[in-house]
Amino acid sequence: MKGQTEVSEAVVNRLPRYYRYLRELYRKDILRVSSGELADMMGVTASQIRHDFNCFGGFGQQGYGYNVKFLYHKISEILGVQDNFSAIIIGAGNLCRAIATGPIFTHRGVRLLAIFDNNPAKAGSTVAGVSVYPIEQLHEFCGKNRVDIAVFTVPKAAARESAERILGTGIRGVWNYTNMELDLSTHGIAVQNIHLGDTLMTLCYTIKERSNEA
Ligand code: NAD
């Protein structure tokens, strides 16, 4: 397999989508799939799929297609699904509840260990069975438990404070929902800034363009 540093961000960004489709096929006990079949399902071209998989050394056999189980496990491995990543959430509000309650972590092999909040009234409660701790206990918790990912679901005004709190804890990634763009690369921390509103705007734009064409 080629080193992942050679793989473009665009390809990496497509991998979770391959992962979702392959998980579906795997669950349905489908043993193999051709690049054409996968392309039809996903609404992309077969050559794009072959190109993307070639970045990781192929995986397919001429005339056979792709072994679904093998490919599913390979992409899981590339994405770190089997790395047992662990996460905490900072901000025990509405969004935290939505994220913690759904299967978003478990489907991707990430364990949600704890939730932290600065509202003393929330400490000692649970969200989806996960304990909420006072934010002051974050460092101590991370000293006792390996935490890889912090999810920020605090108000925008608390984004920087939360970023400062995680420094020196060993946390290596932030899934940031605060609408405040964060860049923690100088601290060796990867950040994914999530803006659900952006996808809604893209949808509005597409609708507008189509009605202009009609
Ligand atoms: P909320 O008010 O229900 O929850 C916020 C929680 O953060 C509260 O429990 C509060 O006590 C806690 N908090 C505040 N300051 C804190 C601090 N300094 N340290 C620790 N905890 C602190 O809000 P919500 O509806 O869950 O939204 C959370 C954030 O997510 C907001 O910034 C909102 O704008 C954002 N949001 C983003 C998207 C997106 O697509 N990016 C979508 C929805 C909401």
Out of 154, 174, 180, mutate this one to test ligand 1's pocket (max ligand atoms within 8 Å of CB): namely 154
Q: Does domain 86-197 have CATH number 3.40.50.720?
A: yes
Is residue 94 lining ligand 1, measured as CB closer than 6 Å?
A: yes
Residues 6+ apart with CB under 8 A from 91: 116, 117, 152, 153, 154, 155, 158, 162
Specify the domain boundaries for CATH 3.40.50.720 within the chain.
Answer: 86-197
| pLDDT per position as a tens digit, 3-60 | 444 678 888 889 999 999 999 999 999 999 998 999 999 999 999 998 888 887 767 6
Specify the domain boundaries for CATH 1.10.10.10 within the chain.
Answer: 9-79
From 72, 85, 89, 80, select the one nearest 28 (Cα to Cα): 72
- CA 43 – ligand 1 centroid, Å: 35
Mean pLDDT, to the nearest integer, of 168-196? 96
Atom of ligand 1 nearest to the CA of 177: 41
Buried b or exposed e, range 94-105, using 16+ CB within 10 angstroms: ebbeebbeeeeb
pTM, rounded to two decimals: 0.86
CA distances from residue 50 to 46, 55, 86 in whole angstroms, order as listed: 6, 9, 32
| pLDDT per position as a tens digit, 56-83 | 776 766 667 889 998 899 899 888 888 8
CA-closest residue to ligand 1 atom 35: 178
Is residue 154 lining ligand 1, measured as CB closer than 6 Å?
A: yes
Find the distance separating the first CA and the last CA of the chain, reported in whole Å: 48
> What tokens appear for 42 in the block?
């996903």
Is residue 120 lining ligand 1, measured as CB closer than 6 Å?
A: no
- CA 72 – ligand 1 centroid, Å: 34
CA 55-106-93 angle, to 5 degrees, is 115
Average model confidence (pLDDT) for the chain? 91
CATH for 9-79 is 1.10.10.10
